[in-house]
A and B are shown apart, each in its own frame.
Chain A
Amino acid sequence: MADTTEILAGLAEIVAEETGLDTAEVQLDKSFTDDLDIDSLSMMTIVTLAEEKFDVRIPDEKVKDLTTVGDAVTFIGAAQG
Chain B
Amino acid sequence: MTTLNIRRGAEFSRIAGLGVARGENAVPNEDIIEPINSSDEWIRKMTGIVTRVRADEDTSVLDLSERASLIALEQAGVSGAEIDAVILSTITYPHMTPGGAPVLADRLGSTGAAFDISAACAGYCYGIGQADALVRSGNARNVLVVGAEKMSDFVDPADRSISYLLGDAAGAVVVSASDTPGIGPTVWGSDGAGSQLIRQTTSWLDVRDDRDTAFPTLVQEGPSVFKWASFKMAPVAREAIEAAGVTPDDIKAFIPHQANIRIIDQMVKQIGLPEHVKVGRDIVDSGNTSAASIPLATERMLRDGDAASGDLALQIGFGAGLVYAAQVVVLP
Residues in chain A within 8 A of chain B (CB atoms):
39-41, 43-45, 47-48, 60, 63
Chain B 264-294, CB-CB to A under 8 Å as 1, else 0, gives 0010000000000000000000000000000
A45 contacts which chain B residues (CB < 8 A)? 227, 230, 266
Q: Which chain B positions have C-beta within 8 A of A44?
A: 223-224, 226-227, 230
CA A63 – CA B226 in complex, angstroms?
Answer: 13
**For B231, what are the chain A residues with a Cβ–Cβ distance below 8 Å?**
48
Given A41-B46, A44-B227, decide whether A60 and B266 contact each other with a Cβ distance below 8 A.
Answer: no
* Chain B residue with Cβ nearest A49: B231
Known contacts A39-B46, A41-B46; A60 and B227 CB within 8 A of each other: yes
Number of interface residues of B (CB under 8 A): 13
The answer to whether A39 and B230 touch (CB under 8 A), given A44-B223, A45-B266, A60-B223, is: no
Which of B45, B223, B230, B266 contacts A43, CB < 8 Å?
Answer: B223
- Whether B222 lies near A40 (C-beta < 8 A) is yes
* Distance to closest chain A CB from B80 (angstroms): 44
User: Apart from A44-B230, A60-B227, what 16 extra A-B contacts exist at CB < 8 Å?
Assistant: A39-B46, A40-B222, A40-B223, A40-B226, A41-B223, A41-B226, A41-B260, A44-B224, A44-B227, A45-B227, A45-B230, A45-B266, A48-B230, A48-B231, A60-B224, A63-B223
The interface residues of chain B lying within 8 Å CB-to-CB of A48 are 227, 230-231
- Bound-state CA distance A78–B230 (Å) is 27
Whole-angstrom distance from the CB of B198 to the nearest CB of chain A?
Answer: 14
Would you call the interface of chain B mostly helix, strand, loop, or mixed?
Answer: helix
CB-CB under 8 A from A39, the residues of chain B are 45-46
The smallest beta-carbon distance between A46 and chain B, in angstroms, is 11
- Give the number of A-B contacts (CB < 8 Å): 29
Residues from chain B with a CB closer than 8 A to the CB of A43 are 223
In the complex, the answer to whether B221 meets A41 with C-beta atoms within 8 Å is: no
A67 CA to B85 CA, complexed, in Å: 53
Nearest first, the 5 closest Cβ-Cβ pairs linking A and B are A44-B227, A60-B224, A40-B223, A44-B223, A41-B226
Closest to A39 in B: B46
Tell me the residues in window 205-232 of chain B with beta carbons closer than 8 Å to chain A beta carbons. Answer: 221-224, 226-227, 230-231
The residues of A that contact B262 with a CB separation of less than 8 Å are 41
Residues of B179-227 at the interface with A, using a CB-CB cut-off of 8 Å, are: 221-224, 226-227
CA distance A41 to B226 in the complex (A): 7
Q: Which chain B residue shows the least CB distance to A43?
A: B223
Chain A to chain B contacts (Cβ below 8 Å), 24 pairs: A39-B45, A40-B222, A40-B223, A40-B226, A41-B226, A41-B260, A43-B223, A44-B223, A44-B224, A44-B226, A44-B227, A44-B230, A45-B227, A45-B230, A45-B266, A47-B227, A48-B227, A48-B230, A48-B231, A60-B221, A60-B223, A60-B224, A60-B227, A63-B223
